[in-house]
Structure 1
Amino acid sequence: MATAAADKGWESYPKRLLNYDPLREDGVSYDARLAKDNKRLFTEKGNINVDVLDIFRDEFVADNKKPTTYQDTDAFEECLTSSPPNREFRFYTLKPANPKVISRSRVAIPEDTLRKLLTVHQVMPGFIDFLQAFGRRASSSDTGFGGCKRRIEYAPNSSKQRNMKSYEICYNIKFAEEHGRKEKEDEPPKDPWSIRQTCIYQKFEYEKKSSTWIMVQPSDKATTRLNEVFKARAEEYIEDTMHNPMDIHLVFLSGAAENWRWYYNYLENKLYETTTGALSSAVGRRGKTVTFGNYNQHLDFEVEFKDVQELQRFEEKVQSLLLALETNRDTITTLQKHNDQLRKCGLGLEEHHFTAVDDSLDTYLTELAIYKRNVEALLQRIRGRSRLLYNILDYRNAETAHRHGQKNVDFAELGRRDTDLMMKMTKRTTREAVAVKIVTFVTLFYLPATFVATFLSANCVKFVEETVNGRIISRMAVSKDLILFAAITGPLMCITLSIWFIWDRIEKRRVIEECGDKPNRNLE
């Protein structure tokens, strides 16, 4: 097959790859997915930030050996075409566009430039599956994606498995890291840990004895360790013609396993701080208060529904950790199979080269199994504490309902007593009303006679007897006292009614002002 220009056909990657097989890969789908996720995954044209590190066989890696950072698209594309014959490793580091949100940030490379990179190095299409786990996301979706994809290409017309031409391997590895983000400058972060991921791709070409690596958003510690590894083994690489090409994977795997222990300890302490009070919560008795100097601590554990919600979020975080451990375990298991297949191919290496990698991978698997067992036990404790919180919450609700029911009984008893009192008062009022009715009837019966007797006894009217023509005639004469009575009583009545009228209007206006309303003529 004739080899065209290095980046020819990059526009339709991966359909123009030299080893593209439509039976195994759907090139149309990969092409469409890259275009669809352009804004989510990649930066705009001209916005690039990629590190390139070349390691040569005859080079001593000094302390100041640093990758070349490309922030110009043309310069980076020119770098793609360079291929020195003595180059043993080339590392491309695709960094996040926003370092503060690693693993959820876009990759700092335009889509067109990435297509050229993948076309020049004939990267297998499966790399796109792992790349799509990055990019901007509103939530931590797709965190469960992982695994490992690999492909071995043998020399044409080869009947022996040893005649390997090249291999490609790509996987996603997850790790825990302290992000350092703070909600407030003067306060420590509430949740200082996060689970991140990095994508590792390697293409090893047997004839050139060289490897091309693409690392998507690796940790700073991993890139630093790479330089340390090459510096420490510089002389060994000069003496030996070749090392196991799987060696470098151990750098990323060991770095990913480094913080699991501390992250697990943080989660365990967090669970203790959040729910330890539930184990000593007062049930059926009033909680005690213990005084330590000037500090009072209430030993009872107050449970609210938000505590259950917080524990549920905490459980989901631990489940994400368990999923990350299982994903890394599957990845390492696949790397073991790949190393065993390389052993069968030979590659001109001694057995100890493969055994060393197997031993390291076995160690990582053992550590992951321990962490996985601890996390599963932590999950069981979380679920037990969650049930305990629910039971405490139900018990407290039952206590509250019981207290409310008892108060309702007390209120009902008070209401019954009030009803009995009202009935007694009603009966008494009825009896008093009968008595008042009798008194009123008697009063009305004697009132006219009393009025007449009082009027006549006041000497306001007198009967005078006169003799006219020898006959005695009686006539009624009005006394001057009646005129005086009327002259005094009339003004006093007017004054009394006037005072009552004025007082009544003043009281009505005061009531209206207290109510805050405008004067109402009906009240007046």
Structure 2
Amino acid sequence: MTGVKLRFLKSEEKLSVYLENGIAQLLEKFDAPPEFADLLNVFGVRDKNRDEGFGCFWSGELKRCNSTGLASTGPPSTEQLQPSCFYLLKHPELHGRARSKMPWTIRQVGVYQRAQSASSSNLCLFIEPSKGIRDRLETLFEDSNSEEPTSILDQHWSSPHSLALSAFRDNWRAYTNYWENTVTALAVDALFPELEAFNEDEDFAQSKLLFERIQDCQAAGDSLLRARHAIEINLNVLNKLSAFVQEVKRYDINVATGNQNAYSPCEAYLRECISEQEFTLATITMMFKRTKRVIVTIREMANFRELHALRRLGKLSRNEAEETSKLTQQTIRETQIMKSITILALLFLPASFVAAFLAMDYISVVKLSSGFMRISVKPEMLLYLAITIPLTTVTMGGWLLWESRKSVRRLFRQRPAEQDPEKGGRGP
């Protein structure tokens, strides 16, 4: 090969322009197979969500070319190969959003590579390249003294894959360290809580804190589950890429002549990436299980606090029942006292009435010489009776009228409640 052509699709706007112009034109531009459209659809456009659970790997049929650059038939064992493939890798990156509690996000990069033996060139397309890929290319260009810095990647057709794999390893260690610290902090809060409450407001605050911890654990578990799924997809893609490289190497005539070192960098990166992803998968799985155990522990603590609260509520209810019983007994004693007072008042009421009536001096008793007693009634007695009897009648009538109207109002209030089943009534 005499050169490598690098293409970048770094923004959703540029990708959406290609999609609007038509998938067919895009596939024709990069001489890509129809399956390449599935990979492009993963990245979506600005007004759609990205399919983060999708993974893909495609490798073209190995071809050999004759000296004229035309494809020939037969096994590719003695002619120059034309390997081509594309795949999707998921990697963690710091998103930089200040309002988010989670500083990391799982992003994806698409790699499309097609070797052209006829033109002795190698086309490599990076879709949404990671910061590690961009930094490595910038460093590569700065360190190169040639007019075409990309010629450094032209040592072998697998060089762009080596570049992508080296950048793929960048942030996984920091990502797992972040989750180790986060899950450990959640576990410490769950195992050594400070949940003593002294009043109702503080008890509510502690219950709210437990609920927030469960929310944090649920969010962490969801992120770890998504990360585990991304790693499983990566392992599947890396294993397929390794098998593809080994297949190309097996048919490469240059390997048979002793030039085996050209595949060494890519093979080394593949082994390291697969090994690191397997260890990372084990770590993420362990932290996911720890997160679930923390959730179980926090829920048991919440249940224990709820049981303690119920016991305390029962104790308060018993105390209130005892106080109510004491008040009832005291009310009964006071009622008995009032009953005794009423009986005494009834005993003295006739004598008091007679004494008060005679004290008005409307009636006088005179003893005659014959020994008999004569009762004399003054005319004022008639006035007293004329005023007292109507006034008493009006008072009793007003009271009876008030009681009757009160009974009618009470009856009208009770009827709707008895007819409404939702309020405990009997219904029609």
Per the normalisation by structure 1, the TM-score is 0.60
**Matched-pair contact (CA < 8 Å) for 1:173–1:197:** yes
Mapped partners of 2:337, 2:325: distance in 1: 18
Change in 2 beyond 3 A, CA 1:329/1:443: same
What residue in structure 2 maps to residue 266 of structure 1?
178
What residue in structure 2 maps to residue 401 of structure 1?
310
**Matched-pair contact (CA < 8 Å) for 1:169–1:203:** yes
SS of match in other structure, 2:190: helix
SS of match in other structure, 2:159: coil
AA of the residue aligned to 2:251: C
The match for 2:169 among 240, 247, 257 is 257
Number of residue equivalences:
357
1:344 paired to 2:260? no
What residue in structure 1 maps to residue 123 of structure 2?
212
What residue in structure 2 maps to residue 429 of structure 1?
338
**Matched-pair contact (CA < 8 Å) for 1:152–1:164:** no
**Matched-pair contact (CA < 8 Å) for 2:89–2:237:** yes
SS of match in other structure, 1:175: strand
1:315 paired to 2:234? no
**Matched-pair contact (CA < 8 Å) for 2:12–2:46:** no
1:279 paired to 2:191? yes
AA of the residue aligned to 2:93: E
1:132 paired to 2:41? yes
Mapped partners of 2:222, 2:359: distance in 1: 102
AA of the residue aligned to 2:175: Y
SS of match in other structure, 2:84: strand
What residue in structure 2 maps to residue 246 of structure 1?
158
Mapped partners of 2:214, 2:316: distance in 1: 29
What residue in structure 2 maps to residue 368 of structure 1?
277
Residue 135 (structure 1) shift: 2.0
Range with bigger deviation, 127-136 or 335-344: 127-136
Mapped partners of 1:271, 1:261: distance in 2: 15
What residue in structure 2 maps to residue 42 of structure 1?
none
Change in 2 beyond 3 A, CA 1:107/1:180: farther
Residue 439 (structure 1) shift: 1.7
What residue in structure 2 maps to residue 161 of structure 1?
76
Mapped partners of 1:89, 1:274: distance in 2: 49
1:194-205 mapped onto 2 (5 Å cutoff): 194-205=105-116
Which string of whole-angstrom CA distances, capped at 9 and with x for unpartnered residues, describes residues 361-387 of structure 1? Answer: 111111112211211111121111111
The match for 2:349 among 440, 455, 459 is 440
**Matched-pair contact (CA < 8 Å) for 1:336–1:358:** yes
What residue in structure 1 maps to residue 6 of structure 2?
91
Change in 2 beyond 3 A, CA 1:237/1:195: closer
Range with bigger deviation, 326-335 or 214-223: 214-223
Which string of whole-angstrom CA distances, capped at 9 and with x for unpartnered residues, describes residues 427-446 of structure 1? Answer: 222222222222213323xx
* Same amino acid, percent of matched pairs: 20
Mapped partners of 1:137, 1:436: distance in 2: 94
Residue 256 (structure 1) shift: 1.8
1:179 paired to 2:85? no
Residue 137 (structure 1) shift: 7.1
Gap regions ≥5 residues in structure 2: 65-70, 199-205, 367-375, 381-428
Root mean square deviation of aligned Cα: 3.7
Which string of whole-angstrom CA distances, capped at 9 and with x for unpartnered residues, describes residues 109-145 of structure 1? Answer: 4521664232133201111111111124789662121
What residue in structure 1 maps to residue 300 of structure 2?
391
**Matched-pair contact (CA < 8 Å) for 1:195–1:321:** yes
Which string of whole-angstrom CA distances, capped at 9 and with x for unpartnered residues, describes residues 207-238 of structure 1? Answer: 33311122211124313313544666778999
The match for 1:150 among 59, 65, 68 is 59
1:60-99 mapped onto 2 (5 Å cutoff): 88-97=3-12
Mapped partners of 2:9, 2:41: distance in 1: 13
The match for 1:112 among 5, 16, 21 is 21
AA of the residue aligned to 2:35: G
SS of match in other structure, 2:285: helix
Mapped partners of 1:125, 1:217: distance in 2: 20
**Matched-pair contact (CA < 8 Å) for 1:303–1:393:** no
Change in 2 beyond 3 A, CA 1:302/1:182: closer
Change in 2 beyond 3 A, CA 1:234/1:89: farther
SS of match in other structure, 1:277: helix
SS of match in other structure, 2:5: strand
Change in 2 beyond 3 A, CA 1:90/1:439: same
* More helix as a share of residues: 2
What residue in structure 1 maps to residue 423 of structure 2?
none
Which string of whole-angstrom CA distances, capped at 9 and with x for unpartnered residues, describes residues 3-44 of structure 1? Answer: xxxxxxxxxxxxxxxxxxxxxxxxxxxxxxxxxxxxxxxxxx
Mapped partners of 1:433, 1:420: distance in 2: 20
AA of the residue aligned to 2:192: S
AA of the residue aligned to 1:345: Y
Q: Which has the higher contact order (CA 8 A, sep 6+)?
A: 2
Gap regions ≥5 residues in structure 1: 1-55, 58-87, 99-104, 184-188, 289-299, 463-475, 483-524
Change in 2 beyond 3 A, CA 1:276/1:247: same
**Matched-pair contact (CA < 8 Å) for 1:170–1:200:** yes
Change in 2 beyond 3 A, CA 1:315/1:344: same
Range with bigger deviation, 300-309 or 247-256: 300-309
The match for 1:123 among 32, 38, 47 is 32
